[in-house]
Amino acid sequence: MPKCLIDGKEVEFSPGENLVKVAKRAGVEIPVFCYHPGLSVVAQCRMCYVEVEKMPKLQTACSTMAAEGMVVKTQSEAVKKGRQGTMEFLLLNHPLDCPICDKAGECDLQDNSFGHGSANMRHSEERRTYVDVDMGPVIQKNMNRCIHCTRCIRFGDEVAGIHEMVAIKRGNNIDITTIDGKQLKTEYAGNYSDICPTGSLTLKDFRFKKRAWMLKKTETVCEGCSKGCNMEIQHEGNVVYRCVPRENLEINKHWMCDEGRFNYRYTQDESRIVDPTLRAPDGHKSAAWQDVVATLESKIRGGEVLFLLGTDLTNEELSAIREAASTLRTGIKIRTFGTLGVTKTSEDGSADNILKMKSKTSNLNGAEKLGLEPLAGDAKADTVIVFRGGRAALPRVEAKWSAGVGVFNREEASGFDSVLPGLAFTEKEGTVVNHAGIGQRISRAVRPKGTCKSVPEVLMSLLNTKSKAGQA
């Protein structure tokens, strides 16, 4: 492998790697704005200046490929001066509204200005101001803060596959906007906010909710589809505020779709059932856990019993249910359900050639690998118990008595005789297997709402009730 020297450290590299990547491996951080590892290189922000020996001028690290024997200095006086100059230019028109800006705390411009900029400014003219266009329901635009790195334009072209962001006019009048000021159409709009190095593009969903530094971060996996995108739940005080993608070059790279990003909303929706209920003549009534479990136990004692397992459950939950079913009594039929029309991994596939998959549940592959059969047609039995993580599409159920275990909203719950509330993906631990067979772990970010209980807990109390009834 060829080697080069960065700040006196010898680093190996593979040909074609640029200096930002190589320097990062050497433990040297080079400040960047326009460069993003998932996007093409344009070298227009001029922040990543480095000094390369035998080259007369400063070079941009992002567009300079490492070469054998190259000697790079990232901390020399010339580099510092160059970066300081770049910072001053970038800040000429940047408003000082960090207290208002949602990006504050995780802002590249803040960090780099603090690390490489000057404390003084010579600019005394009035700053330019823009009238902002409406960017649709996901993104809030504030052109005043923009530093024209064009990451968003490149993201649309190269990742989201839609050319909707453009730079119009030139020089001081430049305006980064959508074509004809239309609203964003892409279903990956949330990423605009993630890649924007300033607060120019921020999420409307997260606007003014919390400051970035107050959020606690839990690494987990999206349950939106069988892709299994890596993401981070950002929460504080038992409330989830937003989800952002985590880098995983094998699965989702740096991106995430809006569906998965805002999927967390149903877990803290008003209509979610958080206390066990039993059907009464005039609708559902909340009941005590032991009563509901006792009723459930009495219903599965005889007759034809069908357990319907959502493919949005984790592997651990699926196998626990199967084991419990065989312990409870013989002859309990177990079928899985998930997305209408996608019952097997072989039927699964990319929905838009970017990230989204046809299967809208996270663990279709896992259920298949556990040997569980998918449901064909409607669910017909004397008693039907539906276990569900929160996203699997409910099939038609024809039964004398039916119960739902897991996450349901009020409308879904009305189809059941009883609901035993369970944990959503933000509240439980477990593993899921994505469409490509990669097993990943999901982690608990917040405490369960209300008196929600995990599937193993429900099963254990079911078995306890049965053994007590057997003794009596």
Stretch that binds another protein, among 8-16, 91-99, 406-414, 423-431 (CB under 8 A): 91-99
> Which residue, 62, 20, 57, 29, is CA-closest to 44?
62
What gap in Å lies between CA 49 and CA 61, rounded to an integer? Answer: 6
For the bound state, the minimum distance from the C-beta of residue 177 to another protein, rounded and expressed in Å, comes to: 20
What six digits make up the tokens of 377?
């047609």
Residue pair 142/127 in contact (Cβ under 8 Å)? The answer is no
State which residue, 43 or 98, has the beta carbon closest to another protein.
98
Smallest separation (angstroms) from another protein to the CB of 238: 16
Residues 255/265, Cβ–Cβ less than 8 Å: no
* Residue 334 CB-density burial (10 A; 0-12 exposed, 13-18 middle, 19+ buried): buried
Stretch that binds another protein, among 95-103, 291-299, 326-334, 450-458 (CB under 8 A): 95-103
Residue 237 touching another protein (CB under 8 A): no
Give the three-state DSSP class for 212.
helix
Q: Which is nearer to another protein, 193 or 295 (CB)?
A: 193
Residue 444 as a binder of another protein (CB under 8 A): the answer is: no
- Mention every residue, 6+ apart, whose C-beta is less than 8 A from residue 416: 279, 386, 397, 402, 403, 404, 408
| Chain centre distance of CA 195 | 14
Instruction: Convert residues 202-221 into a mask of x (bound to another protein by CB under 8 A) and - (unbound).
Output: -----xxxxx-xx-------
CB of 100 to another protein, least distance (A): 4
Among 42, 43, 104, 463, binds another protein (CB under 8 A): 104
- Min CB(203)–another protein separation in Å: 14
CA distances for 248 relative to 71, 227, 228, 436, 438, angstroms: 31, 12, 10, 14, 12
Q: Which is nearer to another protein, 78 or 214 (CB)?
A: 214
Give the residue with the Cβ less far from another protein, 210 or 410: 210
Q: Binding to another protein by residue 100, rule CB under 8 A?
A: yes
Residue span 316-335 as binding mask against another protein, x where in contact by CB under 8 A, dash where not: --------------------
Taking Cα atoms as reference points, which of 329, 326, 320, 263 lies closest to residue 301?
329
Work out how close the CB of 128 gets to another protein at its nearest, in angstroms, rounded to a whole number. 17
40 class by beta-carbon count within 10 Å (0-12 exposed, 13-18 middle, 19+ buried): exposed
Choose, by CB under 8 A, the member of 5, 42, 43, 98 that binds another protein: 98
Nearest to 92 by CA among 118, 130, 119, 123: 123
Nearer Cβ to another protein (80/210): 210
CB 307 within 8 A of CB 387: yes
Contacts of 362 (CB under 8 A, 6+ apart): 221, 222, 223, 224, 225, 226, 228, 311, 312, 389, 391, 425, 432, 434
**How many chain residues touch another protein (CB under 8 A)?**
12
CA–CA separation, 3 and 32 (whole Å): 23
Q: Which is nearer to another protein, 213 or 396 (CB)?
A: 213
Nearer to another protein among residue 54 and residue 207 (C-beta):
207
Applying CB under 8 A, among 99, 281, 377, 470 the residue interacting with another protein is 99
Least separation in angstroms between CB 208 and another protein:
4
CB distance 442 to 432 below 8 Å: yes
Name the minimum Å distance from CB 140 to another protein. Answer: 10
Nearest distance in Å: CB 142, another protein: 9
Q: Given the rule CB under 8 A, which residues bind another protein?
A: 97-100, 104, 207-211, 213-214
